[in-house]
Amino acid sequence: MKLQTLQDQLRTHIRARIARGELTGVSLARAADFPQGHLSNFLNARRGLSLESMDRLLDTLDIGLLDLVDLKDLRKRLAPPEVAEGVEKIALVSARTAVLARFAPDQILETRSFNKSFLRKLKPRPAEDRRDWLRFVLIRLDVKGARQFSIATAAATLLIDRHYSSLQPYRRLQPNVYAVNFGGRCVMGYVSLFDDYLVLRPRDPQQEVEMLRIERGRSYSEYIVGRVCHVGLEV
């Protein structure tokens, strides 16, 4: 990958984190010991960075080069042509890892193949800027999750579209099933808003309803990990 491409992806990464309120240009310039104008010119693509300056920004942001690489492009380069053209490898991660915007290669438990034509048909609906989020991830249901999901066995995997953080129904008159970040754990169910709370109802009506207070200054969409768009049962 060319240095210019990495710098473009670093700009995208920083802009997305600024848009989510995780940092500001001023705080980043101060932490990286950059002149404010220097960083502003970089973010507005008016200048590039030296390798030393890039290393300093990466250290300040606590990320590595792999966090800037498009994993789909990397998998395409590593996979045999006949595999890369027809399928996409989706990472299976723990439920706690799935709530993170970014995760390292050693947090990937395994990968599963999905038909690209199926994935392309899935429509995203982000309620916030998630361009730096890997779109699709897989998680396994635990026993409690299986009960909430009305599945007799926990030997199931859920495909989550993390670029779908809106509460707009995907299909008319049919509520979406979401993965929601409840204090660092991933909980599945139907989601609605009640005053300053997210209300999560399991698919099984006999299971307990959970409520999560939305912190001041935050949007409900920040708690939405993504829409559950596929359930796979292991036999």
pLDDT confidence of residue 205: 75
Confidence (pLDDT) at 143: 58
pLDDT tens, 17-51?
888 888 898 998 899 888 888 888 888 888 888 88
So where are the chain's domains? 3-67, 71-233
Looking at residue 21, its pLDDT comes to 86
**Which residues in the chain land under pLDDT 70?**
1-2, 66, 69-85, 142-154, 234-235
pLDDT of residue 75: 57
So what CATH class is 71-233? mainly beta
pLDDT attached to residue 182? 83
pLDDT of 106: 86
Question: Same topology for domains 3-67 and 71-233, yes or no?
Answer: no
- pTM given for the model: 0.65
3-67, which class in CATH? Answer: mainly alpha
Q: What is the pLDDT of residue 209?
A: 87
Question: Whole-angstrom Cα distance, residue 63 to residue 234?
Answer: 35
